[in-house]
Structure 1
Amino acid sequence: MSVREILTYPDPALREIARPVDDVNSEALKQLVQDLADSMYDAPGVGLAATQIGVPLRVAVTDTRWREEDGERDLKVWINPEIIRRAGEAIYEEGCLSVPGIYYDIKRAAEITLRWQDMEGNHHSADFEGFQAVALQHEFDHLDGKLFIDLLPPIKQKLLKKRLHKQKKMQE
Protein backbone atom coordinates (compact mmCIF):
# COMPACT_ATOMS: atom_id res chain seq x y z
CA MET A 1 0.00 0.00 0.00
CA SER A 2 1.37 3.36 -1.00
CA VAL A 3 -0.70 6.36 -0.03
CA ARG A 4 0.53 9.45 -1.87
CA GLU A 5 0.08 13.09 -0.90
CA ILE A 6 -2.89 14.65 -2.66
CA LEU A 7 -2.03 18.08 -4.02
CA THR A 8 -4.25 20.95 -2.91
CA TYR A 9 -5.27 24.22 -4.54
CA PRO A 10 -3.45 26.42 -5.59
CA ASP A 11 -0.64 23.96 -6.41
CA PRO A 12 0.32 24.70 -10.05
CA ALA A 13 0.65 20.98 -10.85
CA LEU A 14 -3.16 20.77 -10.63
CA ARG A 15 -3.33 22.98 -13.73
CA GLU A 16 -1.12 20.70 -15.83
CA ILE A 17 -2.71 18.98 -18.81
CA ALA A 18 -2.05 15.26 -18.58
CA ARG A 19 -0.44 13.42 -21.46
CA PRO A 20 -1.71 10.09 -22.80
CA VAL A 21 -0.38 6.80 -21.47
CA ASP A 22 1.66 5.04 -24.17
CA ASP A 23 2.55 1.78 -22.42
CA VAL A 24 -0.41 0.29 -20.55
CA ASN A 25 1.63 -2.79 -19.68
CA SER A 26 4.35 -0.98 -17.73
CA GLU A 27 5.10 -1.74 -14.10
CA ALA A 28 5.13 2.02 -13.49
CA LEU A 29 1.49 2.28 -14.61
CA LYS A 30 0.47 -0.66 -12.40
CA GLN A 31 2.14 1.02 -9.43
CA LEU A 32 0.52 4.38 -10.27
CA VAL A 33 -2.95 2.78 -10.37
CA GLN A 34 -2.31 1.04 -7.04
CA ASP A 35 -1.10 4.33 -5.50
CA LEU A 36 -4.17 6.16 -6.84
CA ALA A 37 -6.52 3.53 -5.40
CA ASP A 38 -4.74 3.44 -2.03
CA SER A 39 -4.73 7.24 -1.82
CA MET A 40 -8.40 7.57 -2.87
CA TYR A 41 -9.63 5.01 -0.32
CA ASP A 42 -7.41 6.47 2.41
CA ALA A 43 -8.65 10.05 1.87
CA PRO A 44 -11.53 8.86 1.50
CA GLY A 45 -13.00 9.89 -1.84
CA VAL A 46 -14.94 8.51 -4.80
CA GLY A 47 -12.31 9.37 -7.41
CA LEU A 48 -8.74 10.49 -7.93
CA ALA A 49 -6.85 11.59 -11.03
CA ALA A 50 -3.11 11.10 -11.52
CA THR A 51 -2.59 14.87 -11.76
CA GLN A 52 -3.86 15.18 -8.18
CA ILE A 53 -0.79 13.29 -6.97
CA GLY A 54 1.55 15.18 -9.30
CA VAL A 55 1.69 12.66 -12.16
CA PRO A 56 0.68 14.27 -15.48
CA LEU A 57 -0.72 11.13 -17.13
CA ARG A 58 -4.28 10.48 -18.36
CA VAL A 59 -5.19 8.01 -15.63
CA ALA A 60 -7.93 8.15 -13.02
CA VAL A 61 -9.64 5.77 -10.63
CA THR A 62 -13.18 5.90 -9.28
CA ASP A 63 -15.40 3.95 -6.94
CA THR A 64 -18.83 5.54 -6.78
CA ARG A 65 -20.32 2.64 -4.78
CA TRP A 66 -17.77 2.23 -1.97
CA ARG A 67 -18.69 3.23 1.54
CA GLU A 68 -16.28 2.91 4.45
CA GLU A 69 -18.96 1.23 6.57
CA ASP A 70 -19.44 -1.83 4.37
CA GLY A 71 -15.92 -1.98 2.97
CA GLU A 72 -17.02 -3.45 -0.38
CA ARG A 73 -15.02 -1.97 -3.22
CA ASP A 74 -15.83 -1.51 -6.90
CA LEU A 75 -12.67 0.11 -8.26
CA LYS A 76 -12.75 1.35 -11.85
CA VAL A 77 -9.57 2.31 -13.70
CA TRP A 78 -9.73 4.80 -16.57
CA ILE A 79 -6.72 5.05 -18.89
CA ASN A 80 -6.71 7.68 -21.65
CA PRO A 81 -10.40 8.50 -21.05
CA GLU A 82 -12.23 10.68 -23.54
CA ILE A 83 -15.79 11.94 -23.25
CA ILE A 84 -17.25 11.71 -26.75
CA ARG A 85 -20.85 12.74 -26.01
CA ARG A 86 -22.60 14.85 -23.40
CA ALA A 87 -26.36 15.22 -23.01
CA GLY A 88 -28.80 16.87 -20.62
CA GLU A 89 -28.03 18.73 -17.42
CA ALA A 90 -27.61 17.61 -13.84
CA ILE A 91 -26.77 19.56 -10.72
CA TYR A 92 -24.95 17.75 -7.93
CA GLU A 93 -23.14 19.00 -4.88
CA GLU A 94 -19.44 18.42 -5.53
CA GLY A 95 -16.37 18.46 -3.38
CA CYS A 96 -12.78 17.65 -4.19
CA LEU A 97 -9.84 16.09 -2.38
CA SER A 98 -7.68 18.88 -3.88
CA VAL A 99 -9.99 21.58 -2.52
CA PRO A 100 -10.77 20.11 0.92
CA GLY A 101 -13.81 21.24 2.86
CA ILE A 102 -15.39 23.14 -0.05
CA TYR A 103 -18.70 21.98 -1.54
CA TYR A 104 -20.83 23.62 -4.23
CA ASP A 105 -23.70 22.68 -6.51
CA ILE A 106 -22.19 22.22 -9.98
CA LYS A 107 -24.00 21.87 -13.30
CA ARG A 108 -22.69 19.15 -15.62
CA ALA A 109 -23.99 16.83 -18.34
CA ALA A 110 -26.51 14.30 -17.00
CA GLU A 111 -25.35 11.63 -19.46
CA ILE A 112 -22.02 10.96 -21.13
CA THR A 113 -20.54 8.50 -23.57
CA LEU A 114 -17.00 7.60 -22.68
CA ARG A 115 -14.13 5.93 -24.49
CA TRP A 116 -11.16 4.57 -22.48
CA GLN A 117 -8.61 1.79 -22.10
CA ASP A 118 -8.32 -0.77 -19.33
CA MET A 119 -5.19 -2.16 -17.66
CA GLU A 120 -4.75 -4.72 -20.46
CA GLY A 121 -4.90 -2.02 -23.14
CA ASN A 122 -8.37 -3.02 -24.35
CA HIS A 123 -10.50 -0.18 -25.70
CA HIS A 124 -14.00 0.34 -24.32
CA SER A 125 -16.94 2.64 -24.94
CA ALA A 126 -19.99 2.99 -22.68
CA ASP A 127 -22.74 5.35 -21.56
CA PHE A 128 -22.98 6.66 -18.01
CA GLU A 129 -25.62 8.73 -16.24
CA GLY A 130 -26.44 10.29 -12.90
CA PHE A 131 -23.84 10.47 -10.14
CA GLN A 132 -21.41 8.20 -11.99
CA ALA A 133 -21.45 10.52 -15.04
CA VAL A 134 -20.87 13.54 -12.81
CA ALA A 135 -18.00 11.86 -10.92
CA LEU A 136 -16.31 10.86 -14.18
CA GLN A 137 -16.58 14.37 -15.62
CA HIS A 138 -15.12 15.76 -12.39
CA GLU A 139 -12.11 13.39 -12.48
CA PHE A 140 -11.45 13.84 -16.18
CA ASP A 141 -11.53 17.64 -15.78
CA HIS A 142 -8.48 17.16 -13.53
CA LEU A 143 -6.67 15.55 -16.46
CA ASP A 144 -7.26 18.76 -18.43
CA GLY A 145 -5.99 21.01 -15.63
CA LYS A 146 -9.46 22.05 -14.47
CA LEU A 147 -11.01 22.04 -11.00
CA PHE A 148 -14.70 21.95 -10.12
CA ILE A 149 -14.42 25.47 -8.70
CA ASP A 150 -13.64 26.69 -12.24
CA LEU A 151 -17.29 25.93 -13.07
CA LEU A 152 -18.64 28.35 -10.46
CA PRO A 153 -20.05 31.73 -11.50
CA PRO A 154 -17.21 34.31 -11.80
CA ILE A 155 -18.06 36.24 -8.61
CA LYS A 156 -18.19 33.04 -6.51
CA GLN A 157 -14.91 31.89 -8.07
CA LYS A 158 -13.20 35.14 -7.24
CA LEU A 159 -14.34 35.16 -3.61
CA LEU A 160 -13.54 31.48 -3.10
CA LYS A 161 -10.09 31.67 -4.68
CA LYS A 162 -9.27 34.69 -2.54
CA ARG A 163 -10.35 32.78 0.58
CA LEU A 164 -8.37 29.67 -0.43
CA HIS A 165 -5.20 31.68 -1.10
CA LYS A 166 -5.57 33.32 2.31
CA GLN A 167 -6.01 29.92 4.00
CA LYS A 168 -2.94 28.55 2.21
CA LYS A 169 -0.81 31.49 3.39
CA MET A 170 -1.98 30.99 6.98
CA GLN A 171 -0.94 27.31 6.81
CA GLU A 172 2.60 28.14 5.65
Structure 2
Amino acid sequence: MVLDILHYPNPILKKRSRDVDLFNEELHQFLDDMYDTMIAKDGVGLAAIQVGRDIRALLVNIPREDKQQYKEDLLEMINPEIIHKEGEIFFSEGCLSVPNFYEDVLRFEELEVRYQDRFGNPQTLQAQGYLAVAIQHEIDHLNGVLFVDRLSIIKRKKFEKEFKKIQKSKR
Protein backbone atom coordinates (compact mmCIF):
# COMPACT_ATOMS: atom_id res chain seq x y z
CA MET A 1 0.00 0.00 0.00
CA VAL A 2 1.31 3.45 -0.90
CA LEU A 3 1.38 5.74 2.14
CA ASP A 4 1.08 9.54 2.26
CA ILE A 5 4.39 11.36 2.55
CA LEU A 6 4.60 14.31 4.93
CA HIS A 7 6.02 17.51 3.44
CA TYR A 8 8.06 20.35 4.86
CA PRO A 9 7.20 22.29 7.06
CA ASN A 10 5.09 19.60 8.80
CA PRO A 11 6.25 19.65 12.46
CA ILE A 12 6.14 15.83 12.69
CA LEU A 13 9.25 15.78 10.45
CA LYS A 14 11.19 17.53 13.26
CA LYS A 15 10.31 14.83 15.79
CA ARG A 16 13.02 12.42 16.97
CA SER A 17 11.97 8.81 16.32
CA ARG A 18 11.90 6.15 19.03
CA ASP A 19 13.62 2.77 19.01
CA VAL A 20 11.82 -0.25 17.63
CA ASP A 21 11.52 -3.15 20.06
CA LEU A 22 8.77 -5.24 18.47
CA PHE A 23 9.86 -7.11 15.33
CA ASN A 24 6.49 -8.54 14.37
CA GLU A 25 4.20 -8.93 11.36
CA GLU A 26 2.88 -5.38 11.82
CA LEU A 27 6.44 -4.03 11.42
CA HIS A 28 7.00 -6.25 8.38
CA GLN A 29 3.81 -4.99 6.72
CA PHE A 30 4.77 -1.40 7.49
CA LEU A 31 8.24 -1.92 5.94
CA ASP A 32 6.59 -3.42 2.84
CA ASP A 33 4.25 -0.41 2.62
CA MET A 34 7.24 1.94 3.01
CA TYR A 35 8.95 0.14 0.12
CA ASP A 36 5.83 0.46 -2.10
CA THR A 37 5.67 4.16 -1.22
CA MET A 38 9.36 4.82 -1.90
CA ILE A 39 9.23 3.12 -5.30
CA ALA A 40 5.91 4.78 -6.27
CA LYS A 41 7.37 8.21 -5.44
CA ASP A 42 10.71 7.57 -7.22
CA GLY A 43 12.74 7.74 -4.02
CA VAL A 44 16.00 6.01 -3.14
CA GLY A 45 15.36 6.20 0.60
CA LEU A 46 12.52 6.65 3.05
CA ALA A 47 12.39 7.05 6.81
CA ALA A 48 9.33 5.97 8.81
CA ILE A 49 8.79 9.51 10.13
CA GLN A 50 8.24 10.70 6.55
CA VAL A 51 5.03 8.66 6.49
CA GLY A 52 4.02 9.71 9.99
CA ARG A 53 5.43 6.88 12.16
CA ASP A 54 8.03 8.01 14.69
CA ILE A 55 9.99 4.75 14.79
CA ARG A 56 13.67 4.29 13.96
CA ALA A 57 13.18 2.46 10.66
CA LEU A 58 14.48 3.41 7.24
CA LEU A 59 14.86 2.02 3.75
CA VAL A 60 17.53 2.65 1.14
CA ASN A 61 17.52 1.22 -2.39
CA ILE A 62 20.27 2.70 -4.57
CA PRO A 63 19.75 2.31 -8.33
CA ARG A 64 22.27 0.22 -10.25
CA GLU A 65 24.23 1.47 -13.26
CA ASP A 66 21.19 0.78 -15.49
CA LYS A 67 19.30 3.33 -13.32
CA GLN A 68 16.92 0.59 -12.10
CA GLN A 69 16.19 -0.28 -8.47
CA TYR A 70 16.14 -3.96 -7.62
CA LYS A 71 14.36 -5.22 -4.53
CA GLU A 72 17.25 -7.59 -3.75
CA ASP A 73 19.40 -4.45 -3.18
CA LEU A 74 16.94 -3.06 -0.63
CA LEU A 75 18.37 -2.17 2.78
CA GLU A 76 15.95 -2.15 5.68
CA MET A 77 17.61 -0.61 8.73
CA ILE A 78 15.96 -0.70 12.12
CA ASN A 79 17.52 1.28 14.99
CA PRO A 80 20.55 2.31 12.88
CA GLU A 81 23.62 3.76 14.55
CA ILE A 82 26.71 5.13 12.81
CA ILE A 83 29.71 3.63 14.60
CA HIS A 84 32.47 4.92 12.32
CA LYS A 85 32.69 7.72 9.77
CA GLU A 86 35.48 9.23 7.69
CA GLY A 87 36.19 11.47 4.74
CA GLU A 88 33.97 14.17 3.31
CA ILE A 89 31.92 14.42 0.16
CA PHE A 90 29.57 17.04 -1.26
CA PHE A 91 26.53 15.37 -2.74
CA SER A 92 23.49 16.83 -4.49
CA GLU A 93 20.50 15.77 -2.41
CA GLY A 94 16.76 15.92 -2.79
CA CYS A 95 14.02 14.63 -0.51
CA LEU A 96 10.52 13.23 -0.91
CA SER A 97 9.47 15.49 1.99
CA VAL A 98 10.98 18.58 0.30
CA PRO A 99 9.90 18.03 -3.32
CA ASN A 100 11.52 19.78 -6.27
CA PHE A 101 14.47 21.20 -4.33
CA TYR A 102 18.03 19.91 -4.71
CA GLU A 103 21.21 21.21 -3.14
CA ASP A 104 24.75 20.06 -2.35
CA VAL A 105 25.19 18.84 1.22
CA LEU A 106 28.44 17.97 2.97
CA ARG A 107 28.41 14.38 4.25
CA PHE A 108 30.86 11.72 5.41
CA GLU A 109 32.18 9.70 2.49
CA GLU A 110 32.46 6.38 4.35
CA LEU A 111 30.44 4.88 7.20
CA GLU A 112 30.10 1.82 9.30
CA VAL A 113 26.54 1.34 10.52
CA ARG A 114 25.17 -1.03 13.13
CA TYR A 115 21.46 -1.82 12.84
CA GLN A 116 18.85 -4.57 13.07
CA ASP A 117 17.05 -6.24 10.20
CA ARG A 118 13.27 -6.73 10.10
CA PHE A 119 13.60 -9.78 12.35
CA GLY A 120 15.69 -7.99 15.00
CA ASN A 121 18.97 -9.64 13.98
CA PRO A 122 22.03 -7.42 14.50
CA GLN A 123 23.80 -6.33 11.30
CA THR A 124 26.81 -4.21 10.41
CA LEU A 125 27.35 -2.50 7.07
CA GLN A 126 30.28 -0.64 5.51
CA ALA A 127 29.03 2.01 3.09
CA GLN A 128 30.66 4.62 0.90
CA GLY A 129 29.70 7.23 -1.68
CA TYR A 130 26.04 7.40 -2.71
CA LEU A 131 24.99 4.64 -0.29
CA ALA A 132 26.73 6.34 2.66
CA VAL A 133 25.10 9.67 1.77
CA ALA A 134 21.62 8.11 1.48
CA ILE A 135 21.99 6.36 4.85
CA GLN A 136 23.08 9.61 6.54
CA HIS A 137 20.16 11.47 4.93
CA GLU A 138 17.65 8.91 6.26
CA ILE A 139 19.23 8.69 9.73
CA ASP A 140 18.96 12.49 9.87
CA HIS A 141 15.19 12.08 9.34
CA LEU A 142 15.06 9.72 12.34
CA ASN A 143 16.70 12.49 14.37
CA GLY A 144 14.29 15.19 13.18
CA VAL A 145 16.77 16.78 10.75
CA LEU A 146 16.01 17.62 7.11
CA PHE A 147 18.72 18.07 4.51
CA VAL A 148 17.78 21.75 4.20
CA ASP A 149 18.72 22.13 7.89
CA ARG A 150 22.31 21.28 6.87
CA LEU A 151 22.58 24.05 4.28
CA SER A 152 24.70 27.17 4.70
CA ILE A 153 22.85 30.35 5.66
CA ILE A 154 22.95 31.62 2.08
CA LYS A 155 21.65 28.35 0.59
CA ARG A 156 19.01 28.11 3.34
CA LYS A 157 17.75 31.63 2.53
CA LYS A 158 17.59 30.65 -1.16
CA PHE A 159 15.53 27.58 -0.21
CA GLU A 160 13.15 29.59 2.00
CA LYS A 161 12.65 32.14 -0.79
CA GLU A 162 11.88 29.42 -3.37
CA PHE A 163 9.62 27.62 -0.90
CA LYS A 164 7.60 30.78 -0.17
CA LYS A 165 7.25 31.48 -3.90
CA ILE A 166 5.91 27.94 -4.48
CA GLN A 167 3.49 28.26 -1.54
CA LYS A 168 2.21 31.60 -2.89
CA SER A 169 1.64 30.14 -6.36
CA LYS A 170 -0.49 27.34 -4.85
CA ARG A 171 -2.97 29.80 -3.32
Same fold (TM over 0.5): yes
What is the rounded CA distance, in whole Å, between the counterparts of 2:134 and 2:2 in structure 1? 21
- Structure 2 residue aligned with 1:55: 53
Cα deviation, residue 117, structure 1: 0.1
Q: Return the TM-score normalized by structure 2.
A: 0.92
Change (3 A) 1:115 1:167: same
**1:129 matches 2:117:** no
**1:13 matches 2:12:** yes
- Structure 2 residue aligned with 1:158: 157
Cα deviation, residue 97, structure 1: 0.7
Cα deviation, residue 67, structure 1: 8.2
Residue pair 1:46, 1:66 contacting (<8 A) in 2 also = no
Amino acid in structure 2 at the alignment position of 1:126: L
What is the rounded CA distance, in whole Å, between the counterparts of 1:100 and 1:16 in structure 2? 19
Cα deviation, residue 169, structure 1: 5.0
Amino acid in structure 2 at the alignment position of 1:32: F
Residue pair 1:18, 1:57 contacting (<8 A) in 2 also = yes
- Structure 1 residue aligned with 2:36: 38
- Gaps in structure 2 of 5+ consecutive residues: none
Cα deviation, residue 101, structure 1: 0.8
What is the rounded CA distance, in whole Å, between the counterparts of 1:70 and 1:142 in structure 2? 24
Q: State the SS of the aligned residue for 1:107.
A: strand
What is the rounded CA distance, in whole Å, between the counterparts of 2:13 and 2:108 in structure 1? 23
What is the rounded CA distance, in whole Å, between the counterparts of 2:116 and 2:68 in structure 1? 29
Q: Return the TM-score normalized by structure 1.
A: 0.91
Q: State the SS of the aligned residue for 2:113.
A: strand
CA offsets 1:74-122 (integer angstroms, 9 cap, x no match): 2110000011111000111111111111111111000011000001111
